[in-house]
C-alpha cells in the first residue's frame, strides 16, 4: 500500500512539473516525458503486491476490457480531430476545436485516459490501485479544471466560455 501512495505522489509531482514547464516556459524538454508519465504511471500500480477483488472476478475483467476499448476509441477519435493525442499546455491550436469528440465533451483525451485507467484497474482487480486511483482521477479532474481556467479561457476568451456552457467537461450535457 505504501507504493500506491508513492505512485499517487509521483503523479501529483509530475502534474506540478508539467505546469511549471508549460506556464513558466522552463524545463520545456519535460513536456513530452511529463505527458507520457501522466498517461502511463497510473497503470503501474496493479503490478505491486496487493489484495485482489474476489467478487465475480470474470465480470470485472469483461467490464474492464470494455472500458479500455472505449477509452482507446475516444483517444483515437480525439487524435483524429486534433492531429495528436497530447497537446502541450504552451502549444495551443490556433482555433478552438469544437467538432468531433470536442462537440460532446471538452476533454475527450482525459476522458479516454480515465476509461483506460478504470478498465485497467478492473481487469487486474487490484484493490489498492482502484482505491488510490480515485485520488489520481481527482488529480486528472484538477488538471483539466486548471487548464481551462489558466490557459483556455485566457487563450480563447468568450468563445471558450460559451463552449464551456454548452459542453460538459467529461460527460455529455
Q: Where are the domains of the chain?
A: 2-166
d(CA 44, CA 151): 30
d(CA 67, CA 139): 20
Q: Is residue 122 within 8 Å of residue 61, measured between CB atoms?
A: yes
Q: List the pLDDT tens digit at each of the 173 positions of the chain.
A: 688 888 888 989 988 888 887 777 777 788 788 888 888 888 888 888 888 877 676 788 899 999 999 999 999 998 888 776 555 555 667 778 888 999 999 999 899 999 999 999 888 888 888 888 888 899 889 988 988 888 888 888 899 999 999 999 988 88
CATH topology of domain 2-166: 1.20.120
Amino acid at each position: 500500500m505504501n507504493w500506491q501512495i508513492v505512485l499517487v505522489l509521483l503523479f501529483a509531482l509530475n502534474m506540478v512539473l508539467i505546469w511549471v514547464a508549460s506556464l513558466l516556459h522552463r524545463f520545456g524538454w519535460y513536456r513530452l516525458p511529463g505527458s507520457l508519465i501522466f498517461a502511463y504511471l497510473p497503470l503501474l500500480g496493479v503490478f505491486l503486491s496487493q489484495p485482489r477483488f474476489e467478487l465475480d472476478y470474470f465480470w470485472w475483467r469483461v467490464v474492464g476490457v470494455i472500458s479500455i476499448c472505449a477509452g482507446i476509441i475516444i483517444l483515437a477519435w480525439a487524435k483524429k480531430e486534433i492531429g495528436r493525442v497530447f497537446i502541450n499546455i504552451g502549444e495551443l491550436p490556433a482555433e478552438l476545436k469544437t467538432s468531433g469528440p470536442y462537440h460532446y465533451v471538452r476533454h475527450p483525451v482525459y476522458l479516454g485516459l480515465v476509461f483506460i485507467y478504470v478498465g485497467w484497474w478492473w481487469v487486474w482487480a487490484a484493490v489498492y490501485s482502484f482505491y488510490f486511483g480515485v485520488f489520481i482521477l481527482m488529480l486528472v479532474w484538477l488538471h483539466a479544471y486548471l487548464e481551462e481556467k489558466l490557459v483556455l479561457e485566457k487563450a480563447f476568451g468568450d468563445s471558450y466560455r460559451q463552449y464551456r456552457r454548452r459542453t460538459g467537461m467529461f460527460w455529455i450535457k
